[in-house]
Chain A
Amino acid sequence: MDNLSELFHGFTIAVTVPHLALMATGVLLGILVGVLPGLGAPNGVSLLLPLTFGMQPVSAIILLSSMYWGALFGGSVTSILFNIPGEPSSVATTFDGYPMARDGRPTTALATAFGSAAFGALMGVILITFLASWVAQVALAFGPAEYFAVYFLAFASFVGMGGAAPIKTVVALAIGFAIAAIGIDTVSGSVRLTMGIDELVKGVNFVVAVMGLFGIGELLVAVEEEFHARAVSSRIDWREVFRAVGHLPRHGVALLRSAAIGCWMGITPGGPTAASFMSYGIARRFSRRGRYFGTGEVEGIISPETADHAAGTSALLPMLSLGIPGSATAAVMMGGLMIWGLNPGPMLFVDQKDFVWGLIASMYVGNIVAVALVLLTVPVFAALMRIPFAVIAPLIVIICVVGAYSVSNSYLDVVMMLGFGVVGYLFKKLFYPLAPLVLAIVIGDKAEDAFRQSMLMSKGSLGIFFANKLVTCLVVAGIALLLLPLALQLFARIVRKPASARTTNQEKVSI
C-alpha cells in the first residue's frame, strides 16, 4: 500500500486554498472552451500554456488538467443540446443525448451525462492510483499488430451492431476510410487523394467533418420537417437534476461495464474515442432496451460518457509513465512538462513524486469540483433549449462556420464543412448510419498505419495477428463480435422458421 501513503501525501499538496482556486478557475475556463465549438480542449490548453511558465509545475499541471476536465464536460453540453460534438470522443453521446433533449428532457440528459462521466473519471483515477506500475507495462506490450487488433475490435463492434443494415454500416465505414486516407500517407510518405487541391495535403480534420455531418446535417433535416422547438417546457428544476443523478445506480451494470471498457481502452492506448464508440455498441447489443437505442435511452448516454471519461483519465497514465500522449490535449500538456523542465517517462515517478502524486490527487478533487460546477450549470444550459428554433438555427450555422474556420484558419475547411452537412443530410434521408463513418474518419488512418506496419514487420504474413496471446485474444474477440449477429440470425431462422416473416418485418422497422 505504498501507493496509498503517496496518495495521501498528494492530497496534502492538492487540497490547499490556492490549488482549489486554480481548479475552479481551470474547470470554469474548460467548460467555456468546451461549450464553444471550434475551440476545444487542445486549443484552450495551448492558449493557457504560456501563462503557466512562471508557475510551480504542480500548480501548472493542476490548472491545465482541471481545464481538461472542464472541457470534457463542456463538450458533452453541445453534443446533447445541439447535436454538435466538440471532441471526437463525445460523438457517441449525441446518439441518445440529442433525441432525449429534443424530447423535452434536456435536464435529465445533461445530468445523466455528467453523473456517469464523473463515475467513469473516478474509476479511471482509482485505476491509476493502484495499478500505476502494472499499467505502464501493459502499454509497452502494444506493438503495431496489437494496435491494429484493438482498432479492429472497435470497428467490429459496430458492423454487427444491428441498428442499420450491416451492409450500410460497411458502406459508411468504407467512405470514412477513403476520407481518412486523404493527405500524406505515413508509411509510403506519398500524397494521396488530394484531387488537385494543394491544401488537402493536411487531410480532413475531424472537427470539420463532424460539425457538418451532425450540426448542419441535422439542421437540414429539421428544416425540412418543420421542426418547431417541441414546446420544451424545461422549467428550471433542480429536483430533476438530482432525480437523474439518483437514478444512475439503477444502471449499475452499464456503468461498471462501460468504466471497464473505458479503462481498458485508455491503458492499451486505444483512446477515448474508440472507447466511447465501443461501449455504446456493446451496450446496444446487451441492453434489454437495446432496440430503443437512438431514441433517447438513458443507457445510451451513460455508456459512451462513462467510457469516454474513464479512458480520458486513465490515458494520462501512459503520458506520465511512458511519454505517449493519448490525445491532442495530452500532447500539449506534455509539451508543457518539457518546458517546465520535467521529462515524462518512468523516472518521473521516482524523481518527481510530489508532482506525480499531487497531480493524481488533484484528479480526484478536480473531478469532484468539475462535476459540482457543471451540475450547478445544468438548468442554465437546459434553458437554452427554450430559445425558439428560428433563433437557434442561424446560431448553429454561425457556430459551425466559425468553428470550422478556426481549426486552421482556412476557408477550404468551411466549404468542406458545408459539404459534409449535405452528406450528413443524405445519410439521414437514405437511412445510412453516421457513427461508423465518423469512427472510420477518426481512427481509420491509425488502423491503416498499424496494419501496414505489422505487414512490414512480418514481411507480409498475417500470422503476426496470432503471434502471441494478447493479439490473438483481441483478434478473435473482434471476429466473434463481427460474426455474432450473423450467427444469431441464422440460428434464429433455423429454430423458428415460421417466425421469420415477423423478423423481417421488425428489421424494416429498425432500419
Chain B
Amino acid sequence: MRGTSLFLLTVSAAVLAGSAPACAAWQPQKPIEFVATAGPGGGTDNLARAVQNVITKHKLTDQPIVVVNKGGGSGAEGYVYGKASAGDPYKVIFGTSNAWQQPLVSRVAFNYTDLTPIAAMAQDEFLLWVKQDAPYKTAGDYLKAAASGEFKMGGAQSKDTDEVLTRMIEKVGHVKLTYIPFKSGAEAAVQLAGGHIDSHVNNPSESLGQWRGGTQRPLCVFSPKRLPEGPKITATEGWSDVPTCVEQGLDIKQYEQPRTVWLPGKVTPEQAAYYVDLMKKVQATPEWKDYIEKTSQVDTFLTGAEFDKFIKQDLEHVKQVASEQGWLVK
C-alpha cells in the first residue's frame, strides 16, 4: 500500500517536474523547524543546534531556522510528531538509531518507515569505562574480574544502544552483568565516579570531563581501529592512546551510534534532495569540523541507498540481540 502511494508520488512528482523543466529545484518558502528528539543539552540537541548555527552563519538558506526539543519518551515524542507531520517539508527531525531500534522493543506509535531518511551525519563511538582507581588495566582484566564478581553496568535508557552493547559484551566475554538504566549517559558517568556502578559504555563526549578530572578512565574503544589523533585529554593520554577492544581480547569489532536526520513521510523527492544537499554543504564548513572534533565524533555522511543498507544491517543485528533477550514487542 505504502509502496504504491510512494510510487504514485514519485511518478506524479516526475510528471510535474517534467512538465515544468524551467522550474528550479525545490526551495523552502517559510521558516524551518529543527526537531531534536532529545532534551536541551543532549548530544542530539547539540547536533541540531550546531547545524542551525552553521546554516545561519553561512546563509545556506534565506529562511529562519528554529530548534525545538521534543525529547519526551526517550525521543519517541519527536518521531511521533514527525509521523503526524506527514507531507510537511518544513520539519527536520534529528535523532539517532533510536528511530528504528525503539519500535522493535517498545510499543511506540511510529516506525522509521513513517519518516523519510535524509542522512546519517556523524557516528559517535562507544568506549568501556571504569572508575579511575579500579584494579584492572585492560578489558581482559575487566572480563576476568567480572566473571567472578557481580558487576553493575550503567547506561542510558533501557533496551537502547547501551543495553544492546552490554548484552553483546556478556555474550562475547562469557560474563553476567547487571544492567542499571539511567536517564542519560551523563547520569551514569556521575554514578561511576561515585563508585555506585562498576562500568558504563558512554560516548567520548559524555565522559570527557570526568576522564580529564581523573574520576574514570576508558579501557578500550568498540571500533575497528584506534580513534584519530587529537589533543591530549589527560597529562599523558589522548583518545588515540585508547586501545581497541579487539586488541584486548573483547571481540566486538564495531559498535557505533549514528546521528540521523529525517523528514516527515510523504514529502517529494525534490524536497528530500534539497535537504540532502543542504546537509552536505553544512558538512563542508570549518565550523562543522570544529563541532566534530570538540565532541570527539567520527565524520561520516551516509545517504540514499548507503543509509538504507546501514539501517537494514543495524536493524538485523539489534533484532537478533533483542530476540535473544526476549525484548521484541509482539
Contacts and interface: CB of A to CB of B under 8 A. Distances in A.
Interface of A: 42, 46, 49-50, 53, 139-144, 183-191, 198-199, 201-203, 322-325, 328, 331-332, 334-335, 338-339, 341, 343-348, 408-409, 449, 453, 456-457, 459
A187 B80 contact: no
Interface in B277-308: 294-295
Q: Please classify how large the interface on chain B is, using the bins under 10, 10 to 19, 20 to 34, 35 or more.
A: 35 or more
Contacts of B53: 50, 53
Interface string B105-138: 1111110000000000000000000000000000
A277 B275 CA distance: 48
Contacts of A46: 40
A343 to B, nearest CB: 4
B131 to A, nearest CB: 11
A143 B159 CA distance: 22
Contacts of A338: 46, 205, 294-295
Nearest to A198: B109
15 contacts: A49-B49, A50-B49, A50-B52, A139-B190, A140-B193, A183-B72, A184-B72, A184-B73, A189-B159, A190-B106, A191-B106, A345-B209, A347-B213, A453-B181, A457-B180
A203 B41 contact: no
A346 B181 contact: no
A198 B107 CA distance: 10
Of A140, A142, A198, A331, most buried by chain B (CB within 10 Å of CB) is A198
A189 B209 CA distance: 28
A202 B76 contact: yes
A183 B107 CA distance: 11
A186 B183 contact: yes
Interface string B31-56: 00000000111000110011011001
A339 B49 contact: yes
B73 A203 contact: yes
Contacts of B186: 323-324
B1 to A, nearest CB: 20
B214 interface: yes
Interface string B163-196: 0000000000000001111110011011101111
Contacts of B189: 323
Contacts of B108: 184, 191, 201
CB-based closest 8 A-B pairs: A202-B72, A345-B209, A143-B196, A189-B158, A346-B213, A198-B109, A202-B77, A335-B41
B268 interface: no
Contacts of A189: 74, 105-106, 157-160, 181
B159 A453 contact: no
A328 B106 CA distance: 26
A96 to B, nearest CB: 32
A101 to B, nearest CB: 33
A322 B180 contact: no
Contacts of B72: 183-184, 201-203, 408
B107 to A, nearest CB: 5
Nearest to B205: A338
Contacts of A201: 72-73, 76-77, 80, 108-109
Contacts of A331: 39-41
B210 interface: yes
Contacts of B190: 139-140, 322-324
B212 interface: yes
B252 interface: no
Given A184-B72, A184-B73, A191-B106, 20 more contacts: A46-B40, A140-B190, A140-B193, A140-B215, A184-B76, A184-B106, A191-B108, A199-B84, A323-B190, A324-B186, A324-B190, A328-B39, A335-B45, A341-B294, A346-B209, A346-B210, A347-B214, A408-B70, A453-B180, A456-B178
B181 A187 contact: yes
Contacts of B52: 50
A270 B45 CA distance: 25
Nearest to B56: A50
A142 B194 contact: yes
B183 A344 contact: no
Interface string B71-108: 01110110010001000000000000000000001111
A191 B52 CA distance: 32
A340 to B, nearest CB: 10
Contacts of A343: 208-209, 212
B294 A191 contact: no
B266 to A, nearest CB: 18
Of B183, B187, B197, B213, most buried by chain A (CB within 10 Å of CB) is B213
B124 to A, nearest CB: 14
B226 interface: no
Contacts of B152: 457
A325 B208 CA distance: 16
Contacts of B196: 143-144, 457
A323 B159 CA distance: 25
Interface in B1-57: 39-41, 45-46, 49-50, 52-53, 56
Contacts of A341: 294
